[in-house]
């Protein structure tokens, strides 16, 4: 399992370790292709084979932040 550390200057969740993540590409909507593509986009690493799948886990984190107008907004990060 590869975790990436977000930069200290990030507005949302600075210095947090997280899995490479992203959205399913509408041109290639096969869910198994998404982590392979995202891994390459975020790390330049290439995945040749997926040997197994992890059991599904669900978690959510949240953090209140202030936007550029000074209003508080709620930011969610979820993983399924």
For 61, half-sphere exposure in the C-beta direction (CA atoms, 13 angstrom radius) is 8
Tokens 């799948």 belong to 53
Mean residue pLDDT across the chain: 80
Task: Give the model's pLDDT for residue 62.
Answer: 66
Residues 13-69 pLDDT 10s: 889 888 887 888 888 888 788 888 888 998 999 988 888 877 777 766 666 677 788
Helix (H/G/I), strand (E/B), else coil: 44? coil
- Which pLDDT value is given to residue 80? 47
Question: Cα-Cα-Cα-Cα dihedral of 34, 36, 40, 43, to 10°?
Answer: 100
Which CA distances in Å does 30 have to 26, 27, 36, 57, 71? Answer: 9, 9, 11, 19, 38
**Could you identify the residue written with the tokens 């290439």?**
46
pLDDT confidence tier of residue 74, bands split at 50, 70 and 90 = low
């Amino acid at each position: 399992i590869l975790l990436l550390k977000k930069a200290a200057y990030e507005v949302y969740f600075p210095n947090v370790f997280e899995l490479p993540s992203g959205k399913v590409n509408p041109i290639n909507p096969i869910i198994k292709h998404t982590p392979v593509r995202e891994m390459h986009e975020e790390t330049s690493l290439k995945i040749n084979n997926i040997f197994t799948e992890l059991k599904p886990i669900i978690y959510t984190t949240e953090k209140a932040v202030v936007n550029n107008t000074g209003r508080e907004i709620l930011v969610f990060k979820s993983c399924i």
